[in-house]
Structure 1
Amino acid sequence: MPKFFMGESDTAQNVNQPMGEAYSAYWNKWLHQGAALARAHFDLTASFAASPIAIFDQLYEQYGGQAVFNLARRDSQMAGFDVQSLLFSSAPNVETLVRRWQKVAQAQASIRFGAPQSLPDFVQTMPNGEIILSPSHIRPANLSRFGTAMLTGVTAHALSRFTPERVEILECSKAGRSRTLSPQFGQSQMDFDPTSDIILRFPTSKSDAKSVKAASPYLQLNHLFNHQANPFFRQLIQHLDQQQGGHLNIEICAQLMGTSVRTLSRRLALFDMNYGRLTRFVRLRKAVRLLHAGHVQMDDVAFAANYADRHHMARDFRQMIQLSPSLLRDLFAESTRNR
């Protein structure tokens, strides 16, 4: 789902920082990965020192909206820890997906701007099942010329869970004129007007996404550093995951790992990581797993995830994903109620 379009900063190093530490870590990695794919598949004139945003802008400049759309649609899913992706990928139907997206955007706007009455009208579900996107209503999609193409591509990928057929895409201008944007046409057909609304139309038969019991790709931490391929870091994550009864301080953790605090810190620093940040991610992931599994008592979840109390957990959620634990619990619960 299009998380890049729910932040508001577009700096080269950390374009999603306003959305929280965990959100930022995942989606900045996604942008860098997408920029690397763009370089690999297209002959771009952007310098090698260019930021991911500059590379996507150059891709749009040289190859048009279709190139951005196709890259975003094809490569939207990236394994890693992202709560919003977990929410959207576990939605049982299109209506729930859109409703979750609206509620998440509204909650995050409330935390960032203190605007609880903000209307998430950038995405709507119509009675006939069509989805209407209004990229001009959301930052930073409305700040870049490639934003509409990328937002549409990632959304089309999310909808592919619900239908095996290609999603039909139309553009509706503010004047009321509409035209078909079809990915199989030439690139000129995909030059999105950033002021227009996008209509995503797919077969009207009522079909929910198939339930898959495989582990979610959005509960991994490999986007931070490739710990799964390194026995030392794999063991470190296991110690932190298995900790019970409070925070595991770095001195005790180093002893369990058979190393010194200095060595442990130095090895983490090689991946731009420190012990405090890693423990925050592991703790948050543990709490999210419990909420996703249906645990509803906040005190129990906080204790099991090694927070000091539920208030500590709520502060961490706000800082890292800009959502409250109770809202996340309620949104996950929709999957059970709607089946």
Structure 2
Amino acid sequence: MKSRILTVFFAAVAMALSAQMPRSEWHAKVGECALDPVSLKATIVKLSSADKKAFLAEVNEAISKMPGSPEAKAAQFLAINRAAVAGAGPADRLEVLAEVFATVPTESLAVVNEEFAKNEFARPETMGKEQYAKIISTAMGKIVERCSSSESGAVRSGFAGIMFVRAAGDAADAAQSAVVSTLPPEVRLDARNKWIPAALGKEQTKSYDSMLGAAQAGEEPDHQLAVSMYSQQMIESMLSDLQTTHESGEEIGKIERGTTPVDFFNAGADAIGVKEPTPPRGMIADKEISGALITGRPEDNEKPPVKNPWYGGDGRGDSEPGPYWLQHL
């Protein structure tokens, strides 16, 4: 009986390993995945735990070498790294999150930390302050350890800490204490008195100057413009993906020219020829979004935000509820 159990166990392990994409194959996809979050997510789910981190590091390096404005690059880093965190799976999500803060340029982390705080890592109202502080301590320990081997590692860890404080809501004070206690000793005073208050705009204009100056970073992106560019990129990526494939990878035919995201998600299975679609990840957590996500017109990015037809209450940028994201870090 014991030998049979072992045989089944090792067979399962062998099957899992055989399903993983070899390094030579994923390395060849780095360029493609640096441009397309859909491709990246489809790839990262097929990698081993170690390869997920190595793959994301190479993708972020590729994005760093691309031409473009600070806003365009920040939008790209946001799209790609959001897809990486979503595709990492519960067992590897914290390791991948640490890789995000260790490999995205510090100036782009000014955008990434704020958007992650709004969606993926926002503290649900049902999660107690002490529980959230414990989660932060665990997560920050891993992030600080990984960032210690990166250039400007203490500043990078500071951005991760600010993300958690920003995401804490009315537990911000407890979150700040948890964050500061995990940072490298040499920056704790600056983090408490300068970095966090300035980043959150506490009784002052919001600014990352002290952090970016310490890291000798590049130009800080305009946050609103970067997010607008991200929104437009996600529209294009989503519609491009929907024109060719559904979840099983089969051809579904072209969507008519002029179709908008809201048209598609309201159309239903019969009109599209696939099973009932669901809203794109990352669009369910905010009550208001850019009008371009509904109309498909880039010029609507410049207009005030509108009511989000996909608003899903406690959804946090993935099909998993907010508490699940946090409790599995």
Looking at secondary structure, tell me which structure has more strand per residue.
1
TM-score between the two structures when normalised by the length of structure 2 = 0.34
Higher relative contact order (CA 8 A, sep 6+): 1
Structure with more of its chain in helix, by fraction: 2
TM-score (norm 1): 0.33
